[in-house]
Amino acid sequence: MINNSTFLTTIDIIPNPLIVTNGEKILLSNKSFLDFLGLESLEQLQTLCKCVCHLFIEYDGFFSLKDLKDGELWVDYIYRQKEGVKVSMVSNQGEGKAFEVSVGKLEEYEKTYVVIFTDITSLESERKILEKLAYKDPLTDIYNRQIFNTMLKQAYTDKHKNGERLSIILLDIDHFKQVNDNYGHDVGDKVLIEFTKLINQHIRSSDIFARWGGEEFIILLPKADIDAAYRKAEELRLLVENFEDPYLPKITISLGVSEILDGDKERSCFKRADKALYKAKETRNKAVKL
């Protein structure tokens, strides 16, 4: 048992949460780790959990006990990794925290390891924000144009492989500039947010909805021919036309519909949908398919 008073004092000075373990049982803990869990003593910690690994929350990209081979100790697994291993734990405040784990052996003691947890929650949050910005429109939280184009290429591949029908709907909010001019950009932003929420609630989970730019949006409909896409477009047009929010101005939308055909060049379908959208704006009462 470790009873060196200098060692015990030293680990309490370390600001990072730290434990000493044999891989199966927690032998020591510093004050920072106890504070994280809202505990006052090592005895309380040992009562709470025999192994610290039982506190780890499973998330994608984080350490999981499922990563271990039969009979393998979690601490041995982490010790052998060349790159930092991340774990997630919940504090006594109910906050999920991300940590990078460093493991070192205490050579003078058999099968004894020092485990230090470095809080990387803010770095993980920033990374997730950056990842989200790479594929989501920051205002409406739907897909952006760049990721839509990537997903469209995959849909093209699936169509040619499986012979499935594939259509697109272009949507444009009518006279949106007037909304911004008359009510201000804050209201205009709220209109866009509520509009995308409304559309999202009335399309299939397999449909891909993206902001194409400004007040223009696009929906990719797998396994839908032009007639099915047209019916959906008309449904959405009437849905928006009849939607009322006492705090927002009423809007209408125009829609152009086109099916991606065998032999289409990459932009052919978009050109037809864009032409159909232009015609829809002229008629002002129905979606147009081409």
Q: Establish whether 194 is a catalytic residue.
A: no
Handedness of CA 143, 146, 150, 153 (dihedral sign): positive
Would you say 26 and 50 are in contact if contact means Cβ atoms under 8 Å apart? yes
Q: What are phi and psi of 9, to 5 degrees?
A: -70, -40
Distance CA 219, CA 229 (A): 10
CB 277 within 8 A of CB 254: yes
Q: Which of 215, 235, 241, 266 is catalytic?
A: 215
Task: Name which of 112, 84, 118, 119 is nearest 20 in CA terms.
Answer: 112
Alpha helices in the chain (DSSP H): 5-13, 31-37, 42-48, 74-80, 121-135, 145-162, 176-183, 185-200, 226-242, 268-283
Q: Is 118 helix (H, G, I), strand (E, B) or coil?
A: strand
CB 254 within 8 A of CB 285: no
| H-run or E-run covering 213 | strand 208-213
Task: Give the separation between CA 224 and CA 219, rounded to whole angstroms.
Answer: 12
Which active-site residues does the annotation give?
Answer: 215
